[in-house]
Copies of this chain bind each other. A is one copy, B any other.
């Protein structure tokens, strides 16, 4: 399959990250994180997210999310999220299964929760008949390619803490958000009151690896046991740690995430004067959502693979990746134009 706009996990491993795996492939190392690569990577995370940050590596995004949330909840709690949240629609019920908790999902057209949207579900605290709201979970960048501004996150953190709840960020594309907002990892998380972050690597050029980053260390207390029970403990951890090390080294992450974001901007710009393509969401990270008519979609799918987002209204999703080039964008837009004319 040639390069396309299907997903940011359709692209491969960034060469520098693959190189890091190769470099780490020497002699023996103790398993399960008791190795020098993991130690270095933990130190790196602390440098980047603040000294009180406590990071752990896990296999995938579902694992990062259910383990983040497990550290914050008991089964009678509820997790508040956007209706479009990955934890709500794309994890086959893994959160309910692993946590035992109810997810309270709230419709929000741009994928972003606000205090106003959340307040109506903050009731029945202390009532034994009702689940107890305990976590607000947001995605940054969102599943719709939009971004929370720092002050919006701060407001949600304030709301959460006022009600004795926590703020979790599903950051499978957190690097894209940091790059797009031209800020730092710490400024966009710990400094705003985020309690725990699912931090993604796989969608940003890693072969495999996500992190759970606790921004308040006391929340990490039982994480090791939860991770093992969730079957998310990797024996040859050095090969995951080495990838993150390379990801942060010389701000490679910024190159990676920045390119994906930039290409999405370019794509959106080039599409802006094509009437047959109606962009439906602000393009703030590395995704472009658009409504196109079914015939156009069918033609285009013969050349490029991409996903329907909302079949009922003809909405599709185009994702840019670390390896998306200007030429890729240009060719794709040409293909669209050709399909329209045909």
Taking Cβ atoms with an 8 Å cutoff, the residues of A that contact B are 1-4, 6-7, 9-13, 18, 21-22, 24-32, 35, 59-63, 66, 74-78, 89-94, 96-98, 100-103, 120, 128-132, 202-203, 207-208, 222, 224-236, 239, 305, 312, 321
Contacts and interface: CB of A to CB of B under 8 A. Distances in A.
28 contacts: A1-B28, A1-B29, A9-B235, A12-B236, A18-B25, A22-B22, A60-B234, A60-B235, A62-B231, A75-B96, A75-B229, A76-B222, A76-B225, A78-B93, A90-B130, A91-B228, A91-B229, A92-B225, A93-B100, A93-B102, A94-B228, A96-B96, A96-B102, A128-B233, A202-B235, A208-B236, A230-B231, A231-B232
Contact of A224 (B61, B101, B128): B128
Given A2-B27, A28-B4, A208-B234, A130 B96 contact: no
Number of copies of this chain that the complex holds: 4
B26 A12 contact: yes
A102 to B, nearest CB: 4
Given A59-B59, A236-B208, A3 B30 contact: no
Contact of A27 (B1, B74, B89, B120): B1
A228 B92 contact: yes
A10 B25 contact: no
B18 A31 contact: no
- Dominant SS among interface residues on chain A: loop
Contacts of A11: 28
B228 A129 contact: yes
Nearest to A206: B236
A203 B130 CA distance: 20
A24 to B, nearest CB: 8
A236 B9 contact: yes
A98 B25 CA distance: 33
